[in-house]
Amino acid sequence: MQARHEKYLLELTGLPTATGREGRVVDWIERWTRRRRSVELHRDRYGNLMLKRVGSRSRKPIVFTAHMDHPAFVVVEQIDSKQVLAEFRGGVQDRYFVGSRVRLRLGGAESRPGRVLRLDAPVKPRLDKRAVIGFARPVTANAGDVITWDLAPPKIVRGLLSAPACDDLAGLAAAIAAFEVLLKAAPRPGAADVRVLLTRAEEVGFIGAIGACKSGIIPKAARLIALETSKSFADSPIGAGPIVRVGDRTASFDPGLTYCVGQVAQRIEQRDPGFNWQRKLMPGGTCEATAYQALGYTATCLCLPLGNYHNMNDGTPMVFAGAKRSGRSKAVARARPCKAKIDAEVISLSDYHALVRLLIEAGKTLDHKAHLPPLRRQLDTLFARRRGLLADTSL
């Protein structure tokens, strides 16, 4: 099973994708769906995708969500046979552009190497910066073609995945891997109706997620678990486990749902002390859970700590977690002296597998009241047991 989940991870994190140009990821999902009779694929008017078990009708499903885009260039027009004007969609600092190697993605696996020659700031009414890309040999590019950074295909070395686009295709791979396992499990009492929502255009302000809230593709009472990769910090190291993200730079998430997901993680850890997970507020960016919450849904987030966020390797060492010993994780800093450059994004494979495991367990038990009493009931039980302590009021 793990080999299959790694195959999904390796395939997806290497797909060229860009905000508004997520077609290759959509193709992958369509192929995956076609091979499974038990899955329905729905599409809203904005091109967001919803996967569900055939015939599922719950008004209160659990929805794993991930986005299909990654920061990249989109061709505006060809300037001459060896130069192309392209828009950059996503958050990458200006200093990473000029001189960096890129690849113009044509049909199939075909591509042409190029280099960023110039970068222009956005001029109103345009919202995105534009770059002139130069090619050594003549190319034919069409408006809308994707240009990605020129990075090696995804590879796994010593338990770490280095890939062009972990954000958010690793989250998407985890959602699909867990959904697939849950589809095979016979529906049991307490098992949730789990669906997968895949959104477009997250990197410029979760436009697809906002559209999904408006299009009616998400049942109003759904509980959304947004899956992300999120910039790792010293106190949220790579390899210390998936993160129950209580909030982001902008907002904090639904306390009830976040609590329940944390309880699921804690139950796995009680059974298997080798299971690592973290509970953090990740302030490195704003994620779709904030949009879902603001638009009236119940949402929380699970994320994977990410190195070289948005392909920006600024030369500061990534922080990795050592093996868990006596219940405490030991952070180990590995020095990687280099200057700022475009680089592969990095996640830990064990974090990925633990995220899939957490999602599977969440799907199986989140609606199981006996397994997961809400916090309020736990407090009431505690009060009933200990209220005697308050009997003496003569203080």
**Are residues 278 and 230 in contact, defined by beta-carbon separation less than 8 angstroms?**
no
Q: Between residues 167 and 254, which has the closer beta carbon with respect to Zn ion?
A: 167
Task: Measure Cα distances from 368 to 362, 363, 371, 374 in Å.
Answer: 10, 10, 5, 10
- Start-end of H helices in the chain: 2-12, 23-34, 166-184, 207-215, 255-271, 288-294, 349-365, 375-386
User: Shortest distance, CB of residue 344 to Zn ion, whole angstroms?
Assistant: 15
# of chain residues touching Zn ion (CB under 5 A): 1
Pick out residues in 315-334 that bind Zn ion (CB under 5 A): none
Supply the minimum distance, in Å, between the C-beta of residue 166 and Zn ion: 9
Could you tell me the smallest distance in angstroms from the CB atom of residue 87 to Zn ion?
17
Q: Is the dihedral of CA 319, 323, 329, 330 positive or negative?
A: negative
- Closest contact distance (angstroms) between CB of 283 and Zn ion is 14
Residue 231 CB, nearest approach to Zn ion (Å): 9
Q: Between 6 and 167, whose beta carbon lies closer to Zn ion? A: 167
The answer to whether 288 contacts Zn ion (rule: CB under 5 A) is no
Residue owning tokens 């390797």? 313
Nearer residue to Zn ion within complex by CB, 167 or 248: 167
Indicate the residue among 148 and 276 with the shorter CB distance to Zn ion: 148
- Distance in angstroms between the alpha carbons of the first and the last residue of the chain: 62
Q: Which is nearer to Zn ion, 91 or 273 (CB)?
A: 91
Closest to Zn ion by CB, 167 or 193: 167
Closest to 47 (Cα-Cα) out of 73, 67, 70: 67
With beta carbons less than 8 A apart as the criterion, state whether 49 and 40 touch: no
Q: Residue number with the shortest CB distance to Zn ion? A: 167
User: Per CB under 5 A, which of residues 231..270 are in contact with Zn ion?
Assistant: none
Q: What are phi and psi of 258, to 5 degrees?
A: -60, -40
The residue among 296, 292, 260 whose CA lies nearest residue 279 is 260
Task: In angstroms, give the least distance from the CB of 216 to Zn ion.
Answer: 26
| Range 100-139, binding Zn ion (CB under 5 A) | none
Q: What angle do CA 352, 166, 214 make, to 5 degrees?
A: 100
Q: Residue 104 CB, nearest distance to Zn ion (Å)?
A: 22
Tokens of 112: 């042409």
For Zn ion, the closer CB: 285 or 373: 285
Nearer to Zn ion, 192 or 306 (CB): 306
Other beta carbons within 10 angstroms of residue 146's beta carbon come to: 27
Minimum distance between the CB of residue 16 and Zn ion, rounded to whole angstroms? 15
Burial class (CB in 10 A: 0-12, 13-18, 19+), 204: middle
CA distance 261 to 366: 7
Residues 355-394 touching Zn ion, rule: CB under 5 A, are: none
Query: Measured from the CB of residue 367, what is the shortest distance to Zn ion in angstroms?
Result: 31
For Zn ion, which is the closer residue by CB, 62 or 299?
A: 299
Nearer to Zn ion, 167 or 180 (CB): 167
Structure tokens at 372: 């997961």
Omega before residue 113 within 30° of 0, cis = no
Residue 394: strand, helix, or coil: coil
CB of 215 to Zn ion, least distance (A): 22
The β-bridge relationship of strands 243-247 and 278-281 is: parallel
Residues in 137-196 at the binding interface with Zn ion, rule: CB under 5 A: 167
CA distance linking residue 145 with residue 130, whole number of Å: 14
Contacting residues toward Zn ion, per CB under 5 A: 167
